[in-house]
Amino acid sequence: MVKSSSELHRVALELLDRRGVKLEDIAELVHYLQKPYIKELTFEMCLDHVRSVLLKREVQNTILTGIQLDILTEKGLMEQPLQDIIREDEGLYGIDEILALSIVNVYGSIGFTNYGYIDKVKPGILKKLNSHEGDEVHTFLDDIVGAIAAAAASRLAHDNPEISDIMK
């Protein structure tokens, strides 16, 4: 049976919260990305765009899938060699980045630049998710959070077409 979008939305938000990611953390990343381009940008505007991105089914599906893989790995339930690859967040794996691209794709090409940039700089919550402290596994979550922020930043740019040329 096809799940309703509102149910997927609820579960996706719950999962993010359970894994220690607040929508405000993602809004902060959007603010970081877009502040240089939009003078009148407020935190509330960023949060609004994050909320809108999370209404998309593609985004919800990616959150459910990626976080599930993190959780199963954390519990040691994946088969080898994938268990070790995901637990160790092996640099050459790359499927975590690819999965998150399905979020970036939703809002077109501006998102790619933001996604690549934020993945390199790792501001705010991304630094925390990447610290590999303790037994927590966030191999998929860090890319998902970066992708949601990049998608929200693209959405903002589309709403402010005068800045979208600068950002390409």
Q: Which residues bind Mg ion (CB under 5 A)?
A: 96, 139, 142-143
Q: Which residue is nearest to Mg ion (CB)?
A: 96
Of 139 and 154, the one with the shorter C-beta distance to Mg ion is: 139
Measuring CA to CA, which residue among 116, 121, 82 is closest to residue 97? 116
**Least Å from the CB of residue 63 to Mg ion:** 14
In angstroms, what is the minimal distance from the CB of 142 to Mg ion? 5
For Mg ion, which is the closer residue by CB, 34 or 139?
A: 139
> CB of residue 36 vs Mg ion: minimum separation in angstroms?
25
Q: In the complex with Mg ion, which residue's Cβ is closer, 28 or 142? A: 142
Give whole-number Cα distances, 57 to 12, 51, 155, in Å: 10, 13, 16
**How many helices (H) and strands (E) are present in the chain, helices listed first?**
10, 0
Q: Which single residue is written with the structure tokens 């934020």?
A: 118
Q: 3-state SS of 46-109?
A: HHHHHHHHCCCHHHHHHHHHHHHHHHHHHCCCCCCCHHHHHHCCCCCCCHHHHHHHHHHHHHCC
Give the separation between CA 157 and CA 84, rounded to whole angstroms.
39
Q: How far is the CB of 141 from Mg ion (least distance, A)?
A: 8
Shortest distance (Å) from residue 22 CB to Mg ion: 19
Nearer to Mg ion, 88 or 159 (CB): 88
Q: Which is nearer to Mg ion, 73 or 139 (CB)?
A: 139
